[in-house]
Each structure stands twice: as structure tokens, then as C-alpha cells.
Structure 1
Amino acid sequence: MTKRLLVIMTALCMLLACFPIAASAAAGDSVVIKLTIGSPTVNINGVDSKIQPPVKENGTTLVPLSVITKAFGAKLNLEKNKIITLKYNSTVVVLTIGSKEVKVNGVVTKLTTAPKIVNSVTLVPVRVIAQAFGATVVPSGNLITITGKVAGDAASTNTGGTSGIDTDAGKTKVGDSYYGWSMNYPTDLSLSYQSDNGDWTVWSDGSNNPTVVVGIEDEEDTLTKEELRDQIQTYFGDNELVMEKKTISVGGVSYEKMVTKSRDGWFFEYRGIQKDKRVFVVMSGVKATSRDALNKYQDLLDSFTLSFDKSDRSLKDVTKVVNGFITVHDEDYGIEVKLPVNWHRDTESSTPLFFNVDEGLIDFAIKSTVDNETAEQWRAKERAKLEKQFASDYIRNFEESTITLKNGQGQVLKYEYTWDKKNWITEYDVFLIAGDHKYSVSFYLIKADSLKTKLMFTQIINSLSIDTKYVDSNFSEIEEATDLEGQVLKKSSNKYSYSIELPATWTADEKDFESSLVSYYTDHGTFFLNVIEDATALEYNKALASYLNTDEDAVAAGAEISQNVMVNINGSMFQRIDVVYPKASQPLKSSVYMIERNNRLYVLQFTVSQANDSAGYQEEVTKVLESLKFN
């Protein structure tokens, strides 16, 4: 293969990697990850770190999970010691160690290679996660370069404002009636934190250090002794060494016990037990010079039992669950809402965000009011945006209605949309104007049962309460990012003798126009402009055909050329090649426009989800192409 074809082939490798970012994703700092198959070194934004070397199996590159979570700021949750849930802005990716199935926002697709554990490090397929995060993956031999955006800023963990139970006179026990556990009352500690649904409860000493913890996880399978011990180890910190591991009996009940010591001087005792479809882990911790310091909590741990006697008046119930719902407070935004117990708050999100990976997602936003704008007008404007954003056969069943909320009349916009014409997502958007601000609440629900979907929406929205006085007092003007709509930025390259106008709403990724490659995140996908020296369109066509027929990822995505024609743009003839990827998790369309000038091949590539390949998007692409001028 000639040197020119190698350069073209490298450019072609971007085709499958150019997945669109979600319109609602928070724009963060750029992140560039460079790693090499078989090498223990990763470079993230110019800084080298040591990792478990990436491997390639069946054409799929597996990288350490920690590279993804740390570089992109994705939130990680591990269930059953094997189910991995990644939250990146509004995108939820679920993988399972040993399984070739992956869920992206509820849509199931197949992997060629399953996630695995190597030397106690979890390795995951990098491309499917990067694609879901809107990042690009460019392979060049064994070197892989991943370019994307860091997720939105993390918010501090909400402690729920729970007060200590040691002020409850007459209480000698504490427990949770929903989860069905109880134990002796820790008189020298205070209840310092509970998760929203009560599956994580922490008691602390006077220095606010976690001292006694009860953790609960759902587990469908019956675990062996070793599997239960593995589950306990998911609670460990990064530097804990195991000092004891055995089965113990307390009151005739068997527990798996582990004692550890961290490198910073903490000793921990863990006890794990499974009942029905839940795993309970109760633990104590103390910073000391000897593990004997744990002995002061032995009686408390021994008192832990998987029962809750509602008739026992000495028993303090700390449950957060009432009739299957939990009440969630977000003090920073002045909101209170009731959610099903199996829903979770995204504690890493800077705005209120709640989700269940199998049911859906809810987000909440505050903006400043616009002079004389009504909620009905706001709803109409948002509907017009959606109709422009989606191709007509990917969005359907618009319904408009009015709902009475605790803070006034809300306007509801209900609709359904899809990325693949197979799996449809129901969304309810609620618009409320109260005081100096306007509020939007979006419900993304993936349940197939429309009756249950509507019931869930109704229950949740009717419970929503907003402290509008607090918001008006603490939030000032929050303008919408509409002032850039319709505006363009003119860019030019002296080295490569061209100029081009790009929408001001696009976000630059590689923006040095004196280099051979520039790239942008568009409103609905990605844009690349690549200048290849001493190359021809014919060579590109040959390389493209080879790539689509031999690249394993392209073949798996069903890549094929849907159109190859000559088009006239401002009097110049461009070759246009459309490549579709119908089997991708979000079916894609990539349009490549090529023209030869001065011994150079200019390649403009627009990649978009087929769902967003709308008339409005095509109009935007046409304007960009028509703005291209050569010096």
C-alpha cells in the first residue's frame, strides 16, 4: 500500500468513530486519550499514567474501565460484582462482565467480545462506550487515539440532611422496615448519611468519620460463599489489604467476615449475608494502630439481624421508603419530588438528574423568563425545535395538555422518538413559568407499556414541589443559548488555501485550521475537514471500499455505500459518498464530499444519527458546503 493510501486509510478509520453527541449533553473540556495495545502506558491530555495493558480480541480493543471513567468523568456503578453502569451526562451505558450484550439508553446491541477481568482489572470494549459518549476513536496500527468531552461538573454529595438518631430518647434499636433489618442503637454515634432510598446508611463519630455502615444491593442469583466474599470486596478502598477472611456464625446465622487494613491506618470489619434477592453488608471502621480497636463495635455488629419488628416501640425506623416511593430533596435547586424506590439520583450531575437504567431518566432545568412569554409559547417553540431536529419518521404521536402542579399550571408536551425505528422512547416535557424563572422537567421513559408509563409520569409530576421563592432569591439571570442560532464563524487556512463558514453553535474539537485536520461537534453529530497531500479521489474510493469490507467494526455495523455521485457546489464538482451503518446501536449516516485541488484531496465529512438526518440538518450541511472557498 502506498504512503498516500496509508494516510487515506487513517482518515477512513474515523468514519465509524464519528458518532453524534446528544443534544442535551453538557459541553465540557476536551479530552484526548492515547493508548497502545499491549503497552502499560496511557497518555491523557499529555500526562502519562500506568495501566493494565489494553488487549485486542476478535478485532475488538479492550481497555481498563478506569481509563474511561476517569478521563471522561463518567459515573460508575457496579452491581452484583459484574453489572457495570456508566452515566455520562444523559447517556446510560450498561455492560456485564462475561456478556456480549450492552445497553445504551435501554437499547440492547451485541458485542463481538465481552468485558473481562485481567489481573483484577476490568477491561471493556472501548469503541462502544466511546461512541455512546459521542467520542471519536481513531486507530493507527496498535496506537488508539480517543477524543471526546469531559462530562458536566460534579456536584457535592447531598447528605440528605439526616440528623443523628442518638437524640431519640427511649430508642434502643434501629432498623429499616422496608429492607427488613435491625440492630442495637449505636449510642455513641450519629446517623450522618443515608442514600435517597436507604440502601446505604452511615453512622459517624464526633469527627464525622464513617464508623458503621449498612449497605444493601439487589441480587437475583443465589451467591456461593466465594461470590459473596467477592461482593464484599466491592466495598473496599483502593489500598486495603485483607487480614482475615472466614465464615462466622452469629446467633445461628452464617456471615462471611473479612477484616482489612488500609495503607493510611484504617481498620475495617465487613460482614456479608444474602437473604432472598438482596445482599446485606454491615461494616465498621476505625483509625488506629491495632485492629483491636475494632472490638468496641463487636457487640453492635453481632446485634445485626435480618428482621424488623414493627410492634417494638424501642426500635427506631429509619426507612426512606413509603408505599414504594422515596422523597428526594435537592436543596441547591429548591425541589422535592417522590420517585419509585428503584430510581437513583445522579450525584455527579450539576443539575437534578434521576434515573433507572431499565425504565428511564428525569432531568430538571431552570432558565430566566423571557418578557411576556407564556408557557404555551415556550412549549410551541420547543416542539418546533424537535420537529426540525428529527427526521419525520423518527418522531411521532405529539400530544399537548395542561397539568395542575403544586406551583401552578404546567404545559405538557408528550411525544415518542426512536434511534432505530424498533425501540421507541416516550418523553414527557413539562414547562412551568413561576416568578422570575421558568422550569422544564423532562421524563425519558423506555417502558413499552404506555399505561404504566403514563401512570408513572402522573405520580411523579404530581409530587413535584419547587421552592420558587428560594430560586428567585438565589438564581439570577440564566439566559438560553439562543443568541448564537443562525450565526456563522468564518475560518480560513493560509497553508491549505481555503476558507469556510461554520455554524456558531458547533463546538470545536481540533480547531487549528493550519493543520491538515479540523473537527467539530455539530448540533447533531460530528464534522471533519481533512486535507490529504498528493492524494486522489480514486485512491480514496478504493481505500474506502477495502475498509468497509474488511474492518470488523464496520462489517458488524452493516456499513455500506448508499450513494456515490458527483454534485455541483458553487460551480465546482464534488464527489459525494454516503455511507450508512444500519446495525450500529444508533444507526448512522456519514456523508463524504471530496474535491481535488493543487495536488491535494479535500475531504469534508458529516456524520449524523439517521434519526437526526432531517431537512433542517441537510439545509445546514448545504450552507457549510456552499461557504467553502479556495484561494
Structure 2
Amino acid sequence: MKTTKRWGTKVIKAATAAVLLVTLTGPTVVFADSAAAGNGANASVIQKTTSSVVAIIGRPGDGKKVESRYQLAHGTGVIVRSEGYILTNAHVVKDMHNITVVTSDGKSYAGRTTHYDEESDLALVKIEASGLTPATFASPSDIQVGEPVMAIGTPLSFALRNSVTSGIVSGMERSVQSSYNLIQTDAAINPGNSGGALVNMKGQVIGINTLKFVEQGVDSLGFAIPVDTVQHVLDHFFKYGKVRRPYLGLELSESWEAVVGIPSGSGLEVTYVEADSPAAKAGVKKGDIVQSIGQASVHTLVGYNEALKKYLPEEKVNLALQSGGQSKTVEVVLGEVKSADVKLVQDAAGSYIDSDQGKTRIGDSHYGWSMKYPAGLIQMNRFGDKGTVTFQDAKEEYAISINVEEDQSKELSPYALLRKLDGKSQTVLEKRYVEDGTQPYAKLVGKTKGDYYYQARAFHKGDKVYYLTLVVQNETNYQNNAKRSLYEDLLDTFTLSFDAGDKTLKDISSYQDKNTIATEYGLSFDIPADWEDGYGEGLSYYHEESGVDFAVRISSASSGDTVKAWAARDEESFKASYVEDYRQVEAPVETTVDGVPALEQKFAYTMGDEWEHARVLYILKDKYKYELQFNYAEGKDGAETAQKTIDSLIASVHFPKNGMNASIGFIQDENELLKDSDTVTVTNEKYGYSIIVPEAWNSFDPEDLEDYYSAYSSLMARSRSFYFNGGSIKLSADENGSLSDTVGAIEAEHKKNHEIDADYVYTLTDEPLLGLTVKKFALQYVSSDIPYTLNQYVFEKNGIVYTMEVRVNDAVKTDALWQRIGQVVGSVTFQDPK
């Protein structure tokens, strides 16, 4: 599998760093000149340049819990101003905490990210320093393919900062997972090199190292951001505080030739035009071909972005187009890309890069245990909320694990607790119950397969059993009295208590009261831990206690569609689905979700019993529509509690940058295709009838059960049901019954109900229908506060007795629906049964 990797946020752990230092040292590369002359020239260049290159280290903040003080991320930076401004890759410092910058002379400074641009993958870090040596940048026009270059950075380990590799410029104007052109080089670029300098033999920076190509059998394929892009971004950083990008409002597609890298004269096809965008106002339409921007011809998306670098928002630019086979030029007043709010990490003054500074104990607040925390102890694994965690010391001499078993008996004898350790060891060296005041425990010492020395302790408290396990791989270490005493002393510090007020105690609990759902659609949100997956398709969730459910629906926006038009269509559909007295609609309100403009609308409806409420958020972002719907009933914990729950869910919604899976294409909004006039004909050959129903109605076919319930399926196959919101139509056939018996059975049921409730009043009449005279039972009734209409038609055709039952709640019995039901009832036709 081939991939490209951005090298910069290199996470290292003490347990593996030494191995990296020993095994990953590469050979020295020299130029084609004599070794002596080449090395002398190299040394001169490095002496001139290396003082402008710094190493950057900090704690990763990618949303994952930091396991130990040894879990750090590092990269490289280039000094661009003497007063302490350092340029690096955006992905190096993204969410990085406690940034520390180390200059080439070994001085350390606390750093903070001041400017950040993910599109170009560049950022600025500021340190409080003066008199630094800024890098000298090459002229973009002087860079040539084949010229020798050197990469300076911090590969693999922070101990290797300001390392130098050499090579040549392998290519220019490359496009590899970047919005802009990149420089290709064969100089070695490895994890941690990101943000470092790619310099020429004059000691000038020609690019900022950013990524490399990774595939089995592929070497020396690295990439750097060229100096023209670097200077463009730096200019915007210092002038505007951010990169101001022109906005046209177009979605473009490259030609086949451009995709595979063949030189092409074809332009870019317009596949989507955002409503009210600068391009839309200029008359650009879907299907047009963009040939050039100003004087620059564009054939690739990277070329398109490079052309727009020359312009600022609000400037005018001419677009040369092919439209409908005709050439034309339109003038566009450029808008500005709305950059997402970047929350730069600003750590409190005096905070340490060592996340465990001052922590001498470690524990779990949820499960209620704690123990001594040696500086060399590294948390290796955590298994969710299962109460299992493993530690290893930095020298890899021993490992300790804590495992909690819940739902155990609250009464365990010493014998029962000792039995809990059975099967833990192949060779038992010691096994006993230790009376230790308020904290007795069962103890087992032994050897396992592979000669691992093993000590396990089992503690009991409440309905939990706590297992504390020590594993020592090297027999010499375990038999060393001093080391064994150290291990025993550490195990003896384990206690079944957690003091939340102890500032020296580090809490490693992974118990969470919510789960973050990161979707493939560029959308994430938090769901409380006690919620369940809903029964609907896709992203749906439900909370039994509060009665609130949440569903997300994603689809593609049609060209020219707007949030207001989309919401208006939904409102019209909702109003058409309910009789006026049974529905409520509030006017849509403009709002934002994670900084993205949205419309929120509230609906309510009832079938006559309790009111059901819905809050719907309509969001249109990057040509996709996000519909977030929250439903709740008043009868649970009350509307106020439900609203607070929904507000919390909305507040958790996030649109992460580059969160959309690149493989996701056009997703049809099925509601846009749905028409009331669309119907489907359902035929039952066995019972000789066909019926025409709306395509949107749900149908239940008993034959679907045949593989599972063959006997039941055979019985149910006599009927076919069609469901719509608030009602249904059921058509049944009986080849063995008689008309009089069927009518009699139905009437007996109605009479029985009337005897129970005098308000249950039905009528029985003869009616013309389907060219026949049919028996019609009609009923208007209220059941569980829900008023409904029931019509039953019984008739005979070709020796088969048919019963058609129509039931519809008054809440949805609009004139349009009642007319549609009449059309369905009257659509039945008959054939000879088979």
C-alpha cells in the first residue's frame, strides 16, 4: 500500500527511543565532487544555516489521553525573525501543548503558536528571545532541478536535533496531498523533520520539509513547501494575522489527463456552483470549463490554487470559460474564504512539558485505587472502561498491570479470594492469604511459560476484585535482592482508596460519561454513554430515560440549493402531512453550529394524545447537507430537561478540518426525487389481484418471513399491508371462506366492542366499489385519546373473499391524503388466481 506521510508530530516513548538510535542510523551521502571538497562545502553551508534551525517538542493534544510523561511529539522549525518568530509546519504544532523550542546552541525556550494555516500546512511559533539568526530565503527563480540541497531537522528522536541529510532537487511543481506546488527531493526526510529547512549550497532556504512518500521498495521521495508559498503565507501572517484567500464558490473537476499526470490543455469542469457566490453572480454555471484565471492558464486544481495566490479578496479577476461550446470571459469580484476559527493552544504560564510534574502517586478515581508513581513508569495500555491498565518501566525490566472485575460477590472468604488466583502460574513458588490490617489480600508468586517471574495479588472491596500483577522477564533481576525489594515495595504501596484532594496524585481513569462519534462525513458529536443506538438507518441514537432521540442525515446539495429553500421544502411537507389542529410550526431561526451558519426550526405534532416535538437543524457546508433532528415527548422528564439535553448535544457538534472521507461522493437526497404521483403496482398472483399504491408507502410482504417462519408465513400470505404516517391499508384474501361468514365474524367483533363502550358506534352498508356491491363497515372512534377512521370493505370475486381495511388517524386525514386513499382503494383489479 502506498501512502504519503507528513513527518513532524513524531511520538516517542522512552522504551523504544534507544532502539531507534541504534538501528535507524543511515549512511553518509557525499556529492559527486571529491569527498574532501564536498564535505568541506557541506560543512560551510551547515555552519551558516544550522543556527537558524530549531527543534520543537511538546505534549501531543490530538484528543487522545496522554499515557505518560514520555509520550511527546516533536518536529523542527526555522527562525524567520530575530525577535523569536519561528516557522514550522501546521501539523507539527496542531493541538500541541507545552511547546518547548531548543535552539542549535542548546538553549530552551517556552513557545506558543501565534499563527496557523492548515491549507498551506504552515504555522508560526513565538518564543521570548532576541538576537536570533533568521534564515535567508532563496529567490524562487533560482531553484533548479538537479541542484544539490541539504535537509536540516530533528529525525526520529529529539536527541538527533539539527541532523543533516543531503541530496538534490528531484523535481518542481509537484502535487502530493497539497493545495499548492511542492518541491521533490531525495534528501532523507524522516519522522520529526517536518518544519525543517531544505537549503541550497549558498545556505539559503529553498523550502520547508513537510512529507515523504511511503511504499515498500520506494526510497528518497520527500517533499518540501517551496519558498514562494512560504513567503506568501508569511507576508499574510504578518500583514493580516491569517492567510486571506479569494473565494469563487466553485467545485471543480480535473480532466482524465490531469489526474494521471499527462500534460493537458483541458481546463477544469465546474461540477457545483454555490448559491449567491461570486461565481454564481458572474454567471458561471455547472458544466462550464474554466480555462484561465487572469493571465494564468489552469489545468489542475493545484494550478488553480496557485493562480489565486496572486489575488486578494474583493479584487476583480477575469475567468476565461468554455460554456455550451462557446468561449466567453466573465469578470468576478472575489469573495473571501471563511477560515474556521482556530483555537490555538495557549498553556498557562509556568506549565511544564512534563505532564506529570509533581505527581508521585497514580490511581483511578472511578475504580478507587492508587499507588506510588516512580518517574520511570510508563502507561502502556488502557482497555476502555474495563478497569484494566498496564505499566512498564522505562528500562523494560518489569511490568505491572491492574485489573478490576466488577459484579462480584460482596462476601468472599480468604479461601475464595485465593482461589481467584488459580491458573495464573505454571510453577507456584508462593501462595498464601496475607493479613494486612484493613487491606488483606491473596498472594501468588510463580513462574510462567518462558520463565517470566510473576507475582499476583487479589484484593476484595464491595462487589469488586482488584488484581495487581507484577511480571519480571529477566530471572537475574527477580533474584537480585535489591531489585526484588524495590518491586515488593512498589506493590506494597497499592491501596484501595483514591484521595481526590491529593495534588500529588495523577488520575488515569478512562471512564467517560460520553462517547465521541467521529463520522466519515466531516462531522463529529458527543453521545452520552448511557444512550443506545437507534432503530433507524444510519446515525441515530436514543435515550430511554429521557425519551430524547437524535438522528443525523447527510446528503449532497443540488447546485444552487440554499438552506432556506431546503428548510422551506421540509416545512411545506410537514404541513401537508398533518391536519392544522394537530401540528405546530415555529418560524426558522438563523444560528451557527461550530461556527457554520445554520437554520433551526421547531415542529410539534400529535395524534391526539401527547405532543411530540422536533428540533431540526439545517446545515449546508462544502456542498453537503447535514440535517440534525432531535425528537422528544412532553411526557417524560419534561420539555425543559429535554431542551437542555438537546442543547448539550448541539454544543458538541464539530466539523473537523479534513474530516470528510475523500472517497465519499454524491449522496442523493431521496426526498428531492420523491413525488406524490409516483406509484407502484403490487400483484398477488395466487389470490388474483393487483393494487396500485404510492411508492413512498411502506409495505409488509409476509413472504419475506418464509425462510424463518414458514408456517406463520403461509398463514399470513393471505394478506398484504401498506403503511403510511398515521395509518394503513390491509388487503386480505380467503379462498376457503364465505362472504356471509366473514361479514358475520367482523360484525360480531364490532358488536362486542359496542357492548363494552357505547361510544363505539359503527355502521354496515352496501356500497358500489370495484364494479361490485361490497359490504362496508364504517367507524369513527377515539382509542387512547387518538381519534381515527376505520372503513372495512368485504366482497367476493372469482370464489375468493376479500377484506380491505383502511385505518387512518384524524391527525393526518387531510383532504389530499383521503383522496389518495380513495384512489388506492379504487385501484384494485382482479385476475384469475393461480
Q: TM-score, normalised by structure 2?
A: 0.40
Q: What is the alpha-carbon distance in structure 1 between the residues aligned to residue 494 and residue 536 of structure 2? A: 37
Q: What is the alpha-carbon distance in structure 2 between the residues aligned to residue 250 and residue 566 of structure 1? A: 90
Q: What is the alpha-carbon distance in structure 1 between the residues aligned to residue 663 and residue 669 of structure 2? A: 18
Pairing 1:72-471 to 2, within 5 Å after superposition: 164=67, 174-175=362-363, 177=365, 179=366, 181-184=368-371, 190-194=380-384, 201-203=387-389, 252=438, 303=494, 305=496, 307-318=498-509, 326=514, 328-338=516-526, 343-344=530-531, 346=533, 351-359=538-546, 360-422=548-610, 424-446=611-633, 449-467=638-656, 469-471=658-660
1:501 paired residue number: 692
Q: What is the alpha-carbon distance in structure 2 between the residues aligned to residue 472 and residue 528 of structure 1? A: 44
Amino acid paired to 1:426: H
- Which has the higher mean CA deviation after the structures are superposed, 455-464 or 617-626? 455-464
Q: What is the alpha-carbon distance in structure 2 between the residues aligned to residue 269 and residue 398 of structure 1? A: 63
- Which has the higher mean CA deviation after the structures are superposed, 505-514 or 472-481? 505-514
**Relative to 1, partners in 2 of residues 1:167 and 1:577: Cα closer, same or farther, differing over 3 Å?**
farther
Amino acid paired to 2:597: Q
Contact 1:250–1:302 (CA<8 Å) still a contact in 2? no
**Relative to 1, partners in 2 of residues 1:582 and 1:161: Cα closer, same or farther, differing over 3 Å?**
farther
2:735 paired residue number: 533
2:718 paired residue number: 517
Higher RCO, 1 vs 2 (CA within 8 Å, ≥6 residues apart): 1
Does structure 1 residue 543 correspond to structure 2 residue 734? Answer: no
Aligned length: 407
Amino acid paired to 2:621: A
State the Cα distance separating 1:428 from its structure 2 match.
0.4
1:490 paired residue number: 681
Secondary structure, in 3 states, of the residue corresponding to 1:332?
coil
Contact 1:548–1:559 (CA<8 Å) still a contact in 2? no
Q: What is the alpha-carbon distance in structure 2 between the residues aligned to residue 215 and residue 565 of structure 1? A: 69
**Relative to 1, partners in 2 of residues 1:537 and 1:456: Cα closer, same or farther, differing over 3 Å?**
same
Contact 1:329–1:336 (CA<8 Å) still a contact in 2? yes
Secondary structure, in 3 states, of the residue corresponding to 1:311?
coil
Q: For structure 2, which runs of at least 5 residues remain unmatched after alignment?
A: 1-62, 72-353, 393-400, 412-433, 442-455, 471-486, 705-713
**Relative to 1, partners in 2 of residues 1:430 and 1:600: Cα closer, same or farther, differing over 3 Å?**
same
1:478 paired residue number: 667
Contact 1:505–1:522 (CA<8 Å) still a contact in 2? no
Contact 2:608–2:811 (CA<8 Å) still a contact in 1? yes
Secondary structure, in 3 states, of the residue corresponding to 1:627?
coil
Q: Deviations over 1:8-53 (max 9, x none)?
A: xxxxxxxxxxxxxxxxxxxxxxxxxxxxxxxxxxxxxxxxxxxxxx
Secondary structure, in 3 states, of the residue corresponding to 2:498?
coil
**Relative to 1, partners in 2 of residues 1:597 and 1:352: Cα closer, same or farther, differing over 3 Å?**
closer
State the Cα distance separating 1:585 from its structure 2 match.
10
Q: Deviations over 1:353-381 (max 9, x none)?
A: 34322221212121111221111111111
Secondary structure, in 3 states, of the residue corresponding to 1:470?
coil
State the Cα distance separating 1:300 from its structure 2 match.
7.9
Q: Deviations over 1:365-404 (max 9, x none)?
A: 2111122111111111112222233344433253421112
Amino acid paired to 2:584: R
**Relative to 1, partners in 2 of residues 1:353 and 1:492: Cα closer, same or farther, differing over 3 Å?**
closer
State the Cα distance separating 1:315 from its structure 2 match.
1.7
Q: What is the alpha-carbon distance in structure 2 between the residues aligned to residue 606 and residue 440 of structure 1? A: 33
Q: What is the alpha-carbon distance in structure 1 between the residues aligned to residue 498 and residue 410 of structure 2? A: 22
Amino acid paired to 1:412: E
Amino acid paired to 1:505: A
Q: Deviations over 1:507-536 (max 9, x none)?
A: 443277999624245233554321112534
Query: 762, 774, 799: which one pairs with 1:574?
Result: 774
Q: Deviations over 1:570-625 (max 9, x none)?
A: 55443333568855698876543222223321112345566545544433322211
Alignment root-mean-square deviation, CA: 5.2
Contact 2:402–2:466 (CA<8 Å) still a contact in 1? yes
**Relative to 1, partners in 2 of residues 1:510 and 1:351: Cα closer, same or farther, differing over 3 Å?**
closer
Amino acid paired to 1:498: Y
State the Cα distance separating 1:407 from its structure 2 match.
4.2
Secondary structure, in 3 states, of the residue corresponding to 1:465?
coil
State the Cα distance separating 1:333 from its structure 2 match.
3.9
**Relative to 1, partners in 2 of residues 1:355 and 1:531: Cα closer, same or farther, differing over 3 Å?**
closer
Query: 788, 804, 809: which one pairs with 1:604?
Result: 804
**Relative to 1, partners in 2 of residues 1:327 and 1:468: Cα closer, same or farther, differing over 3 Å?**
same
Secondary structure, in 3 states, of the residue corresponding to 1:473?
coil
Question: Which has more strand, going by share of residues?
Answer: 1
Contact 2:367–2:387 (CA<8 Å) still a contact in 1? no
Q: For structure 1, which runs of at least 5 residues remain unmatched after alignment?
A: 1-159, 218-222, 227-247, 256-267, 287-295
Q: TM-score, normalised by structure 1?
A: 0.52
Secondary structure, in 3 states, of the residue corresponding to 2:588?
strand
Q: What is the alpha-carbon distance in structure 2 between the residues aligned to residue 273 and residue 615 of structure 1? A: 67
**Relative to 1, partners in 2 of residues 1:462 and 1:539: Cα closer, same or farther, differing over 3 Å?**
same
**Relative to 1, partners in 2 of residues 1:561 and 1:532: Cα closer, same or farther, differing over 3 Å?**
farther
- Which has the higher mean CA deviation after the structures are superposed, 449-458 or 469-478? 449-458
Q: What is the alpha-carbon distance in structure 2 between the residues aligned to residue 430 and residue 544 of structure 1? A: 47
State the Cα distance separating 1:184 from its structure 2 match.
4.0
Pairing 1:14-29 to 2, within 5 Å after superposition: none
Q: Percent same amino acid at aligned positions?
A: 15
Contact 1:375–1:431 (CA<8 Å) still a contact in 2? yes
Q: Deviations over 1:195-219 (max 9, x none)?
A: xxxx65554799xxxx8655889xx
Secondary structure, in 3 states, of the residue corresponding to 1:387?
helix
Q: What is the alpha-carbon distance in structure 1 between the residues aligned to residue 763 and residue 491 of structure 2? A: 71
Q: What is the alpha-carbon distance in structure 1 between the residues aligned to residue 687 and residue 658 of structure 2? A: 56
Q: Deviations over 1:193-246 (max 9, x none)?
A: 43xxxx65554799xxxx8655889xxxxx9959xxxxxxxxxxxxxxxxxxxx
Amino acid paired to 2:718: L
Contact 1:343–1:354 (CA<8 Å) still a contact in 2? no
**Relative to 1, partners in 2 of residues 1:497 and 1:201: Cα closer, same or farther, differing over 3 Å?**
same
Contact 1:320–1:326 (CA<8 Å) still a contact in 2? no
1:30 paired residue number: none
Secondary structure, in 3 states, of the residue corresponding to 1:539?
helix
Amino acid paired to 1:502: V
Q: What is the alpha-carbon distance in structure 2 between the residues aligned to residue 610 and residue 165 of structure 1? A: 63
Structure number with larger C-alpha Rg? 2
